C-alpha cells in the first residue's frame, strides 16, 4: 500500500468515525430533551405549587402524566412500533415539532390544567423519540463500541438536567418567568433538532432487514412476533430491572428538589444546586467508567457494583435525618452508581437482545410499561412524603435492591459482539 493510499484510507476512517459520533449525538439529544423536561418540571414544581396553590392530588397528576411517566409510555409504545414499520428517521425527524407544540402550553401556562396538558403532549413526543434514537445509536455504532456510543446518549441525558438546573439557578430572581425561559430553551432546541436530523441517513441495518424480509416474501414482522418465549423472557428481565430502578429514578428526578425544600428545609436555590451537582457527577461516572469499560469488561459485575453503591446511598436517607450533609453524601453516591448502572445498561441491552425489525417495538413496549407504572406510583409520592419521608426512603431503597438483584441475575454477556452475531443467536 502506498503512502498516499494509506493516508486516504486513514482519512476515510476518521471521517466515518466522526460521522458515527455525529449521528449518535444527534440521536442522543432526545435524552437531553427528555431528562431536561423532567428536571425542568421538578425545579418548577415548587413555584407552581406556590403560585397556583396546587393540591397534593394535582402535584401527583402532573408527575403521573408528565414526560417521566404515563404519556411517555404511551408515546414510546406507539413510536416504537412505527419505527420498526416505517424506519427510524420518519419518527425522530418530526416528533420534536410535536414536542415544541407541547412546550408552548408550559411556557404560557396560567393554571394547573395547562401544565398537565403541556406535560402530556411533551411526554408523548419524547416517548416516541426514545426507541427510535436508541435503536439508531446501536445500529450505527461500530462493533465493539456500542457501549461507548450508548454512553454518549446517557451523557446527554445528564447534560440536559445540568443545563436546565444551572439556568434555574441563574434565573431564580425571576421566579416563574425564569421557569418559562427554561421551557422556551427546550422548545427552541427541539425545533433546531428537527432541521439537523433531516440530514441524517436512515439506519442501514433497518433498510437491509426490510429488503431481506421482502426478498424472502415473508409476512411483515408484526407485534405478535415479539411474544415468543425468548423475547418474553428478555422483556421480563429488562422491564423488571428497569421498572424498579425507574421507580426510584423517576421519584428522585422529579420530586427530589421538592422534597429537599419541603422536608429538608432547604432554599429553592440550594435544592436546585444539589440536584445539578448530582447530574454533573453522573456525567463524569458515565464518561470515566461506562464509556471506557462497558465494551471490554464483565458487564454483569459492572452492573452489580453500581447497584450496591446505589443501595447504600439511598439507605442513608432512610437511616438519617435529611440534613444538608446527608443530602450531599447521598447525592454523590447515587450519582456515581447510577452513572454506570441501570439506565445505561437498559439502553444497551434492550438494543442488543432483539432483532432489527422488532428492536424499537420491544423498547417501546418496555418503556411504556416502565413509565406507566412510574406514573401510577407518582400519584402516591406526595402523600407518602407528607406522612413522613422515612417510609418513602425505605421503599425507594427496596426498589433499588430488587432492581440490582434482577439485573445481576439476568445480565447478558454481549461485550465485544456485533449486532449481527447477537441477532444470529436469536434465530
How many Cα atoms are found within 13 Å in the side-chain-facing hemisphere of 118?
22
Q: What is the pLDDT of residue 211?
A: 87
CA-to-CA distance for 396 and 398, rounded, in angstroms? 5
How many CB atoms within 10 Å of residue 177?
Answer: 10
How many CB atoms within 10 Å of residue 143?
Answer: 12
Q: What's the burial of 363, exposed, middle or buried (CB within 10 Å: 0-12/13-18/19+)?
A: buried
Closest CA to 278 of 234, 225, 335: 335
SS (H, E, C) 378-418: HCCHHHHHHHCHHHHHHHHHHHHHHHHHHHHHHCCCCCCCC
CA-to-CA distance for 10 and 267, rounded, in angstroms? 54
Q: What is the DSSP letter of 264?
A: S
Q: What is the pLDDT of residue 311?
A: 96
Q: What is the DSSP letter of 111?
A: S
SS3 419: helix
SS3 228: coil
> Looking up cell 439508531, which residue turns up?
136
Q: Per-residue pLDDT tens, the chain, 427 aa: give them.
A: 544 443 333 344 455 667 778 888 988 888 898 888 888 887 788 788 888 887 777 777 777 777 777 888 899 999 999 999 998 888 877 889 999 999 999 999 988 889 889 989 999 998 999 898 899 899 988 888 899 999 998 999 889 888 888 898 889 889 899 999 999 999 999 999 988 888 888 888 999 888 887 766 666 777 888 989 999 999 999 999 999 998 888 777 656 666 676 665 667 677 777 777 888 899 999 999 999 999 988 999 999 999 999 999 999 988 988 788 888 898 899 999 999 999 899 999 999 999 999 999 999 999 999 888 887 887 777 677 666 678 888 999 999 999 999 999 999 888 878 888 888 777 6
Q: At what angle do helices 176-197 and 3-52 cross, to 10 degrees?
A: 150
Q: What is the pLDDT of residue 258?
A: 63
By residue count, the chain amounts to: 427
What are the structural domains of the chain? 24-203+223-424 (1.20.1250.20)
Measured CA angle at 360 (ends 29, 365), to 5 deg: 105
Q: What is the DSSP letter of 216?
A: T
Provide the grid cell at 374: 412510574
SS3 364: helix
SS3 298: coil
Q: Are 64 and 375 in contact (CB under 8 A)?
A: yes
Amino acid at each position: 500500500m502506498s503512502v498516499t493510499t494509506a493516508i486516504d484510507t486513514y482519512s476515510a476512517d476518521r471521517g466515518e468515525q466522526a460521522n458515527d459520533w455525529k449521528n449518535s449525538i444527534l440521536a442522543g439529544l432526545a435524552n437531553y430533551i427528555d431528562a431536561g423536561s423532567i428536571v425542568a418540571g421538578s425545579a418548577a414544581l415548587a413555584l407552581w405549587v406556590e403560585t397556583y396553590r396546587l393540591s397534593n392530588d394535582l402535584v401527583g397528576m402532573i408527575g403521573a402524566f408528565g414526560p417521566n411517566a404515563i404519556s411517555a409510555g404511551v408515546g414510546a409504545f406507539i413510536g416504537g412500533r412505527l419505527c420498526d414499520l416505517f424506519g427510524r428517521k420518519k419518527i425522530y425527524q418530526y416528533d420534536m415539532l410535536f414536542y415544541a407544540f407541547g412546550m408552548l402550553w408550559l411556557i404560557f401556562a396560567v393554571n394547573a390544567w395547562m401544565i398537565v396538558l403541556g406535560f402530556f403532549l411533551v411526554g408523548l413526543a419524547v416517548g416516541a423519540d426514545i426507541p427510535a434514537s436508541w435503536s439508531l445509536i446501536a445500529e450505527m455504532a461500530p462493533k465493539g463500541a456500542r457501549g461507548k456510543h450508548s454512553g454518549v446518549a446517557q451523557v446527554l441525558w445528564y447534560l440536559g438536567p445540568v443545563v436546565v438546573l444551572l439556568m434555574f439557578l441563574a434565573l431564580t430572581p425571576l421566579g416563574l418567568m425564569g421557569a418559562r425561559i427554561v421551557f422556551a430553551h427546550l422548545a427552541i432546541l427541539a425545533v433546531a433538532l428537527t432541521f439537523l436530523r433531516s440530514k441524517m441517513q436512515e439506519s442501514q441495518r433497518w433498510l437491509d432487514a426490510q429488503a431481506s424480509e421482502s426478498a424472502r416474501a415473508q409476512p411483515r414482522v408484526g407485534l405478535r412476533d415479539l411474544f415468543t418465549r425468548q423475547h418474553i423472557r428478555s422483556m421480563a428481565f429488562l422491564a423488571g430491572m428497569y421498572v424498579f430502578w425507574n421507580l426510584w429514578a423517576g421519584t428522585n428526578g422529579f420530586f427530589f428538589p421538592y422534597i429537599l425544600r419541603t422536608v429538608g428545609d432547604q432554599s429553592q436555590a440550594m435544592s436546585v444546586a444539589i440536584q445539578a451537582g448530582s447530574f454533573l457527577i453522573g456525567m463524569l461516572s458515565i464518561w470515566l467508567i461506562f464509556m471506557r469499560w462497558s465494551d471490554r469488561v464483565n458487564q454483569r459485575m459492572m452492573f452489580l457494583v453500581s447497584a450496591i453503591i446505589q443501595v447504600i446511598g439511598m439507605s442513608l436517607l432512610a437511616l438519617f435525618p435529611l440534613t444538608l450533609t446527608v443530602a450531599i453524601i447521598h447525592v454523590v453516591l447515587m450519582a456515581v452508581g447510577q452513572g454506570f448502572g441501570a439506565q445505561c445498561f437498559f439502553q444497551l441491552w434492550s438494543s442488543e437482545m432483539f432483532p432489527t425489525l422488532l428492536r424499537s417495538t420491544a423498547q417501546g413496549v418496555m418503556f411504556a410499561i416502565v413509565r406507566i407504572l412510574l406514573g401510577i406510583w407518582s400519584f402516591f409520592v406526595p402523600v407518602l412524603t407528607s406522612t413522613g419521608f422515612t417510609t418513602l426512603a425505605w421503599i425507594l431503597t427496596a426498589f433499588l435492591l430488587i432492581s440490582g438483584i434482577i439485573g445481576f441475575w439476568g445480565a447478558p454477556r454481549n461485550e465485544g459482539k456485533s449486532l449481527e452475531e447477537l441477532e444470529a443467536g436469536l434465530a
